[in-house]
Amino acid sequence: MAAIHILVGSVYGGALLTAREISKQLASEGHRFTVLESPVLNDLTESDEPLLVCTSTTGQGEVPPTLLPVYQELKDLLPLKPGRAFGVIVLGDSSYGDTFCGAGDLMEEVLLEMGGHKVGETLRIDALETTEPADEALPWVRNWIRQLP
């Protein structure tokens, strides 16, 4: 069973709570997760485990400060083994218009540039539509895990 690394980006805690809930609920179904609240590059390079980005969006479509160092390091380095599986869950607010869930697009872009293999469609969770992001994330993650190579 894969031990999935969750890369968390969160300002006010919504994405972090979502990641913790994924880890807790799906652990009881036999999946293993490592929740990386302030990930550093080593967390990514020391294994080949699938990566699950779980981030909110801040500023104007930007990656939250907790995830920004890794995002910037990934842009400068090419440490991922080609074919590393990843998926993206992004929290945002559609009232922000063009920058809705922009952090997810930025993370997808950098992981693809590094040769990552995107599994599944990005899950975009709109704060205007739900106050319980984990309710949307859990079924999505179950389906995502089934698609992992």
Ligand X SMILES: Cc1cc2nc3c(=O)[nH]c(=O)nc-3n(C[C@H](O)[C@H](O)[C@H](O)COP(=O)(O)O)c2cc1C
* Candidate residues 48, 59, 65, 78; the one interacting with ligand X per rule CB under 6 A: 59
Smallest distance, ligand X to C-beta of residue 97, A: 8
Q: How far apart are CA 109 and CA 90, in angstroms?
A: 13
Q: How far apart are CA 33 and CA 141, in angstroms?
A: 12
Smallest distance, ligand X to C-beta of residue 110, A: 17
H or E segment at 25?
Answer: helix 14-27
65 CB-near residues (< 8 Å, 6+ apart): 11, 58
Q: Is 68 in the site for ligand X (CB under 6 A)?
A: no
What single-letter DSSP state applies at residue 11? S
5 CB-near residues (< 8 Å, 6+ apart): 33, 34, 36, 39, 43, 44, 47, 49, 50, 51, 52
Tell me which residues in 74-103 interact with ligand X (CB under 6 A).
91-93, 96, 99-102
Smallest distance, ligand X to C-beta of residue 42, A: 23
Minimum CB distance to ligand X smaller for 36 or for 114:
36
In the numeric block, which tokens belong to residue 48?
Answer: 């080949």
Tell me which residues in 9-28 interact with ligand X (CB under 6 A).
10-15
Minimum CB distance to ligand X smaller for 114 or for 125:
125
Q: Which residue is nearest to ligand X (CB)?
A: 92
* Candidate residues 42, 45, 47, 60; the one interacting with ligand X per rule CB under 6 A: 60
Minimum CB distance to ligand X smaller for 12 or for 75:
12
Question: Is residue 110 within 8 Å of residue 86, measured between CB atoms?
Answer: no
Q: Which residues bind ligand X (CB under 6 A)?
A: 10-15, 56-61, 91-93, 96, 99-102, 127
